[in-house]
Amino acid sequence: MEVFDTIARLIDLRSFSNLWYWIALAAVWSSASHWVLGVPWDMVIRARRKGGDAGQDLAAMTALSARRLNRIRRDAGFSMSITIPFMLSFLIITGFIYGSETAQAFALLLVPMMAVFGLSLRLAHKLDAEPTLAHDPAIAIKALSRHRVNVQAIGVVAIIVSALWGMYQNLLASMLV
């Protein structure tokens, strides 16, 4: 039993003082801003610079991703509309009312990601409702660029809130020790 106590003292297992949480947070938001609506951002840049076939490829990929997200919404929408709020409510209540730091960390990671998912579903619905929108490279570039700015804004706010809350939790833990 002493071995586990020693390991637990050497490795701080609290979420906000753990380097892996911050690496995961950075990786999640980096990935979210790179894969805009399921389309890689370098594809948007290439279509903006070169046009032609690159623009047509982007328009096709955007239309495909919009249809895919709408199919997911259609097929699993009801179960997602029950499961996701339940999961997020569980994390928020467990984390911020009952004080579980791990649940707080997951809530600060997943709640903003669900906002991004909602924005992605809304854009996919808009693009899929009018097929001419998704098949025009200029409109696809504009829509994906605007969506990326929104994702990045949510990400910046989420990272700042997570950092502030993490610092608060670490200061609180250092005062208790």
Q: What is d(CA 153, CA 140) in angstroms, rounded to the nearest whole number? A: 20
* Run of H or E including 53: helix 52-92
pLDDT tens digit sequence for 9-50: 655 556 788 888 899 999 999 999 999 999 999 999 999 998
Which class for 42: exposed (0-12), middle (13-18), buried (19 or more C-beta within 10 A)?
A: exposed
Least Cα distance to 166 among 27, 14, 32 occurs for 14
The helix/strand/coil state of 40 is: strand
Whether residue 175 has pLDDT greater than 60: yes
pTM of the model: 0.86
Q: Of 20, 40, 51, 11, which Cα lies nearest the Cα of 137? A: 51
Q: Is the dihedral of CA 69, 71, 73, 79 positive or negative?
A: negative
Task: Indicate the domain borders of the chain.
Answer: 17-176
- The predicted-structure confidence for 141-162, as pLDDT tens digits, reads as follows 999 999 999 999 999 999 999 9
Share of the chain above pLDDT 90, in %: 72
- Say if residue 134's pLDDT is above 70: no
pLDDT at 2: 75
From residue 45, give the alpha-carbon distance in Å to each of 29, 48, 54. 19, 5, 9
> Looking at residue 42, what DSSP letter applies?
H
Residue with tokens 């495909």: 64
